[in-house]
Amino acid sequence: MGFVVKKPGVITTVQDGGRFGYQGSGFSTNGVMDRRAYRIANLLVENDPNDPVLEFALAGPTVRFTTNTIFAITGGDFSPTLDGQPVPAYAAIMARRGSILRFKASRIGCYGYLAIAGGGVQVPKVMGSRSTNLKCEFGGWRGGPLSPGDYLPFSTKSMDFLPNLGSHRIDGDDEFYQFDRSEITVRVVPGPQEDMFTDRGVETFYSQPFTVTPKCDRMGYRLDGPEIETKSGSDIISDGIAFGAVQVPSHGRPIIMLADRQTTGGYAKIGTVATVDIPRLVQRAPGSKVRFQPVSVQEAQRLLREEAQLFEQLALKVRRPSADGISPRRTARRLAPILEEQARRCQADTLWINRASRAERVGNRNDLKPRPSEPKASHPPTTGQTHPPKPGAQRPSAADAPHPPESGAQHPSTPTARANETREETA
């Protein structure tokens, strides 16, 4: 059970957190472009942080679900609809078998993410990751973007319930992305080849705005703006490239290297974008303005720790109790053993009084099993009286009532008493 692709969108791929440990062999890390939206999408449907999602750019896909499931959408605004009805982003949504989910062109942002509850789509791991490597054509779904008619199975066949579903939503993330601003500021850790640029070139990089050009993709974002001056060119012996590295080729305009970047490069790097700000950068459409602000390594690490704490708080928030997320059937299954255990404890509970004698007088109220009816004790009727005494008739006094035998005395009807009477008569 999964979904069928009716329209694939511009470029829709399966991605996860990335493929690490193979850059030394020439394989890029791949993975999602916007790690913040990716983490929140999996969090909303209670998936593992590294479970695969669908990533789409500029225009989203149209898919038909073949089973009941729960999904969440994050990232840019692609005007999603489920069976023709608008659905909110940043919320867990229930979809029934046969429902059709449609995305339009992006209204705000560039990248969107679709997370499926129960572990996401079921694709094999290649070199420890389910991410798609478009250049090498492996990983993800058959090593490339989705096509019309593709059927992607889910890791979990059917999802009919998610605890506290009503709480699995947040009020978007516009405050972080700053979609309402035409210009954003991105924090950068200086280096590692900052000394190859003149003081004027470094000042230009941090003081002047740059524009996102149409030449931007999963490999990198090429910016346009004033030339960044170097001392004697920017060519270096090729070395490794980190996610977010800012290369400056000979033309003096920066290029920010992203998820599908090459493993090494031969241009000087004036800095590296802080990990927490890369999602804000990749969601900027061509024509947007970007400024850079230098920060220390310690500051970048502090920002990353704060983001991790934010994810922990969101995880607690989306799992809080919610009335519309309660399943009556599951609640009954959970309550049944609790109530049965309480009933057993009540039956086994012993008080300081004699429970057996009390049960004979007032009945055992804790006994849940019906007791068989016992015949009432019958007394021989008084001579000449076969009916209850009439009203007003004299009742026998307390002195006439039989008394229990004294301690040590034998009842005349017992065998010992009859033997004593026999010995007295013989004597």
Which of 147, 180, 146, 132 lies closest to 283 in space, CA to CA?
A: 180
Q: What average pLDDT score do residues 358-363 get? A: 53
Across 66-80, 146-160, 360-374, 410-424, the highest mean pLDDT is recorded for 66-80
Q: What average pLDDT score do residues 274-279 get? A: 96
Assign 1 a pLDDT band (cuts: 50, 70, 90): confident
Q: What average pLDDT score do residues 365-375 get? A: 53
CB environment 22-41: b (16+ within 10 A), e (fewer)? ebeeebbbbbbbbbbbbbbb
Question: Which letter does DSSP use for residue 31 in this model?
Answer: -
pLDDT digits over 227-239, tens only? 999 999 999 999 9
Assign 408 a pLDDT band (cuts: 50, 70, 90): very low
What per-residue confidence (pLDDT) applies to 165? 77
What per-residue confidence (pLDDT) applies to 268? 95
Helix (H) or strand (E) holding 187: strand 183-190
pLDDT digits over 62-79, tens only? 999 999 999 999 999 999
Helix axes 297-318, 35-44, angle to 10 degrees: 20
Assign 380 a pLDDT band (cuts: 50, 70, 90): low
Going along the chain from its start, the domains and CATH numbers come out as 2-177 (no CATH), 183-295 (2.40.100.10)
Question: What Cα–Cα distance (Å) separates residue 215 from each residue in 177, 209, 242, 286, 413?
Answer: 21, 17, 20, 8, 116
Among 37-41, 157-161, 166-170, 276-280, the least confident range = 157-161
Residue 369 has pLDDT above 90, yes or no: no
Question: Which letter does DSSP use for residue 294 in this model?
Answer: E
Q: Which residue has the higher pLDDT, 320 or 7?
A: 7
What per-residue confidence (pLDDT) applies to 338? 84
Report how far residue 188's alpha carbon sits from residue 160's, in angstroms, rounded to the nearest whole number.
45
What per-residue confidence (pLDDT) applies to 407? 46
Question: What Cα–Cα distance (Å) separates residue 327 from each residue in 29, 320, 321?
Answer: 41, 15, 12
Residue 385 has pLDDT above 90, yes or no: no
Q: How many CA atoms lie within 13 A of 156 on its CB side?
A: 20
Q: Across the chain, what does the average pLDDT equal?
A: 84
Residue 44 has pLDDT above 80, yes or no: yes
pLDDT digits over 81-139, tens only? 999 999 999 999 999 999 999 999 999 999 999 999 989 999 999 999 999 999 999 99
Q: What is the DSSP string of 112-139?
A: EEEEETTTSB----BTTB---BTTTTBS
CB 254 within 8 A of CB 246: yes
pTM: 0.74
Q: What average pLDDT score do residues 350-361 get? A: 51
Helix (H) or strand (E) holding 82: strand 81-82
Question: Which letter does DSSP use for residue 397 in this model?
Answer: P
* Helices then strands, each counted (H, E), the chain: 8, 20
What per-residue confidence (pLDDT) applies to 324? 54
What per-residue confidence (pLDDT) applies to 381? 52
Q: Which residue has the higher pLDDT, 160 or 424?
A: 160
What are the phi and psi torsion angles at 325 (to 5°)?
A: -105, 10
Cβ burial, residue 252 (10 Å; 0-12/13-18/19+): middle
CB 209 within 8 A of CB 225: yes
Assign 174 a pLDDT band (cuts: 50, 70, 90): confident
pLDDT digits over 324-353, tens only? 555 566 677 777 888 888 888 777 655 444
Question: Which letter does DSSP use for residue 50 in this model?
Answer: T
